[in-house]
């Protein structure tokens, strides 16, 4: 099976954007230390534009395979997600999806 992409789309309150970006850099590094995570890229979404007072970010993680993603969900996802919630509460939201080669 080919590698796949785990995508996390973030909607962040602009008032905490700088702190969130700093935390996100550390978070991505922690994700890349997990087994099966190969690389990551973070993008700022420019179209469609975010509502006033918000920024949109898109994180794409490339994983070795579906087993690596399932191991992340089973063993690490709850802890990794809880850290962002503990720091930023309801000042952001996240939507996730999984992509693979067509």
CA-wise closest residue to 59 among 81, 80, 39: 39
Higher pLDDT, 82 or 2: 82
State pLDDT tens for residues 32-42.
999 999 999 99
Q: How confident is the model at residue 52 (pLDDT cuts 50, 70, 90)?
A: confident
The residues that bridge with 25 in the sheet, in sequence order, are none
CATH number, domain of 37, equals 3.30.70.100
The stretch 23-52 carries a mean pLDDT of: 94
Q: What is the pTM of this model?
A: 0.93
Evaluate if residue 101 carries a pLDDT over 90.
no
State pLDDT tens for residues 55-93.
999 999 999 999 999 999 999 999 999 999 999 999 999
Question: Can you give the residue range of the structural domain that contains 32?
Answer: 4-100
Q: How many domains does the chain have?
A: 1
Show the 3-state SS of 70-102. HHHHHHCHHHHHHHHHHHHHHHEEEEEEEEECC
């Amino acid at each position: 099976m080919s590698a796949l992409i785990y995508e996390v789309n973030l909607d962040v309150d602009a008032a905490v954007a700088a702190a969130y970006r700093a935390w996100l850099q550390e978070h991505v590094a922690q994700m890349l230390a997990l087994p099966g995570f190969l690389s990551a890229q973070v993008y700022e979404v420019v179209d469609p534009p975010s509502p006033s007072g918000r920024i949109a970010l898109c994180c794409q993680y490339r994983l070795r395979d579906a087993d690596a993603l399932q191991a992340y969900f089973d063993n690490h996802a709850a802890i990794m997600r809880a850290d962002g919630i503990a720091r930023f509460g309801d000042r952001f939201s996240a939507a996730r999806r999984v992509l693979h080669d067509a």
